[in-house]
Amino acid sequence: MIFGPPGSGKGTQAKILAQRWGALHLATGDLLRGEVAAQTPLGQKVAMYMNRGELVPDEMTLGLIEKHLLRAPSKVILDGFPRTVFQAQALDALLKKVDAKVDKLIFLKVPQSELIQRILSRARQEGRSDDTPQTVEMRLKTYYEKTLPVLDYYRQRCTVVEVDGVGTIEEVTARILGG
Ligand code: AMP
């Protein structure tokens, strides 16, 4: 599981690690953006939350992750999920059913001032509709209020590795692999 605030580089690092470890990269943000782009019934429901920088309701994200996880190979890197303690509890219950578990959480630490810069520069490069000055603040607030408690939840349940997320992509990857 790769964990961190928006803009901490989770997606970038998860892709590299998935390739290296022969694991499936499962990113709820990417899955949800795919639903929005394909204009599915779920996509139509979630677009409003995403554009505001709010979390999509738990039951919608959980349905999506369940569908993909049950079909997944043995090794998975979860990126952007779970984002609430409720999602974490639901994930644990689901994994128990298939005799699997979360074995490691990689926490990418990046100071807030750098996060804002990164998100706004990603907005210019990738044109993500939720990477705007208006939503950045909401996404960070949501992270601190709803998602950060997930870290404490897992501290008691699996190995948690804290990695300094400031530096080049290669430097951060090397720190993750070294830790
Ligand atoms: P991300 O690409 O991970 O930054 O996710 C983009 C947006 O998708 C978030 O701001 C949320 O609106 C939504 N999202 C992604 N993952 C989740 C999740 N696990 N729970 C709720 N909303 C999510």
What Cα–Cα distance (Å) separates residue 165 from each residue in 38, 98, 138, 147?
33, 32, 21, 18
**Residue of 36, 56, 68, 85 to test ligand 1 pocket, by largest number of atoms within 8 Å of CB:** 56
For residue 179, the model assigns a pLDDT of 66
Collapsing DSSP to helix, strand or coil, 33 comes out as helix
Q: Tens-of-pLDDT digits for all 179 residues of the chain?
A: 999 999 999 999 999 999 999 999 999 999 999 999 999 999 999 999 999 999 999 999 999 999 999 888 889 999 999 999 999 999 999 999 889 999 999 999 999 989 998 998 887 888 788 888 889 999 999 999 999 999 999 999 999 999 999 999 999 999 999 96
Nearest to 118 by CA among 6, 21, 23, 32: 6
For residue 120, the model assigns a pLDDT of 87
CA quadruple 62, 76, 127, 173: dihedral sign: positive
**Residue of 77, 130, 143 to test ligand 1 pocket, by largest number of atoms within 8 Å of CB:** 130
Structure tokens at 155: 């501290």
Nearest to 108 by CA among 38, 23, 19, 11: 11
Strands (E), 51-173: 76-79, 104-109, 159-164
Q: Cβ < 6 Å from ligand 1: which residues?
A: 6, 28-29, 32, 49-50, 53-56, 61, 80-83, 87, 130, 139
Whole-number Å distance between alpha carbons of 56 and 130: 13
What is the Å distance from ligand 1's center to 159 Cα?
24
Determine the atom of ligand 1 nearest the C-alpha atom of 65. Answer: 19
